[in-house]
Structure 1
Amino acid sequence: MHSRMRLGFFPFVRLTLLSAALLTPLIALAQQKQHDVLTEAQVEKIREAGIDPNVRIKLYTEYLNDHVNTVKGLTNRAKSDARALHLDKELQGVTELMDELGSNLDEYSDRHADIRMALKTLADESQHWLTTLKALAGEEPFDLSRKEAIEAGEDLTDQAQRLLREQTDYFLLHKDEKGQERAEPKPQQQ
């Protein structure tokens, strides 16, 4: 009986090692993908701003503006394979950045960071992004990326507007927490 237990254990170990070996390149690919969307300097600025939610959101907003403006600039160019590929790549980058920003908003919201200042700008800018993305006529090479970017933009716009309303209400009730980067639990009185 003891030898059967040992034999049953080895396939588990092999499966675990095989899974780790297969996942490692996928994780590296995902990290590389973000580096394709942002420059090393932009990634470093975002890392440094990690302690200041408003600055971090402002940076993402700025970088998204750059990508959406690139999409807008490509819109009026003559149709070509190179243009279509460039649009596809830019649209994928827009979607990736919007998703990443949405994740950051979730984190900052959960810890009750006061991000109203950045949310106001984001709510306005995201409307502009949606207008630009929706104005882009769909073409076969990038239509899926366009639809995904529009969906991500709608989600981000809704999230920013909802969080701005929630934060406005929250900080009306918790004036002592206004301007904070993170809500710290209050000590319980005994």
Structure 2
Amino acid sequence: MKLRNFPAAVSLALFLMVSTCLQGQRVRTATLTETEIEQVRETAIFPNERVKLYTKFLDDRADHIKSLTGRPKSAQRVLKLDDLLQDFTALMDETGSNLDQYSDRHSDIRKALKTLTDDTPRWLNILRVLPGESGFDLARKEAIESGEELADQATRLLHEQNDYFAIHKDEKDQERNDDQVKPDAPKN
């Protein structure tokens, strides 16, 4: 072995190891249809409606996962469930990010949070009763963890919002509280 090729071989090996590690750590984003993307755009400035919309998307996906539960075991089913579970997890994470953003703005999203807190236990039940298989066990585990985090976040945020709006009654039902002009404020 020639020594002058040694640094190139080491560099190539390091590159392959790093790229392989990075592929395993890719953050997946939720896969939305064109119609869903348009609906998300339309609700961009209406936090309550957006959270309700994400809840609907999650509900649809949970039903799809449930529908695959009774199908005969096959490689295709395993791949489909793995993909759906990863998408479901990404969508729950995206919903949680939206909740963080709206919480920081003190947007009144209590109505949507009520629906979300009512629906998350059903989704978690669907995930928990899904018979585990090696092809999607990791995705199922991550979906359950993400669902538990979302359920906790929504419940906590609902309590925080109830407390906040009990004190700040004048901000109740506002879509957002970030430099918006109040209806009775004089316009310049």
Distance 2:108 2:153 in 1: 15
2:171 to 167, 173, 177: 177
SS of the equivalent of 2:43 reads helix
- How far 1:128 moved relative to its partner? 0.7
Distance 1:169 1:185 in 2: 22
Q: Which residue of 2 aligns with 1:18?
A: none
Distance 1:118 1:57 in 2: 6
Sequence identity (%): 57
* Structure 1 residue ranges without an equivalent (≥5): 1-25
Q: Structure 1 167/68 Cα, relative in aligned 2: closer, same or farther at 3 Å?
A: same
Deviations 1:34-69 (A, max 9, x none): 4xx210110111011010001101110111111110
Distance 1:184 1:63 in 2: 27
- How far 1:185 moved relative to its partner? 5.8
Alignment root-mean-square deviation, CA: 1.9
Distance 1:91 1:83 in 2: 12
Q: Which residue of 2 aligns with 1:156?
A: 150
Q: 4+ runs of 1 displaced by more than 3 Å?
A: none
- How far 1:150 moved relative to its partner? 0.3
Q: Which residue of 2 aligns with 1:120?
A: 114
Q: Which residue of 2 aligns with 1:8?
A: none
Distance 2:163 2:178 in 1: 19
2:79 to 73, 79, 85: 85
Q: Which residue of 2 aligns with 1:131?
A: 125
2:44 to 30, 50, 55: 50
Distance 1:42 1:146 in 2: 24
Code of the aligned partner of 2:65: V
Distance 1:148 1:171 in 2: 34
Distance 1:83 1:51 in 2: 38
What does residue range 63-74 of structure 1 map to in structure 2 within 5 Å?
Answer: 63-74=57-68
Distance 1:84 1:184 in 2: 45
The answer to whether structure 1 residue 61 and structure 2 residue 55 are counterparts is: yes
The answer to whether structure 1 residue 146 and structure 2 residue 140 are counterparts is: yes
Code of the aligned partner of 1:43: I
Distance 2:49 2:142 in 1: 26
Deviations 1:97-130 (A, max 9, x none): 0000000000000000000000000001111100
Q: Which residue of 1 aligns with 2:16?
A: none
Distance 1:53 1:184 in 2: 13
Count of aligned pairs: 157
Distance 2:60 2:44 in 1: 21
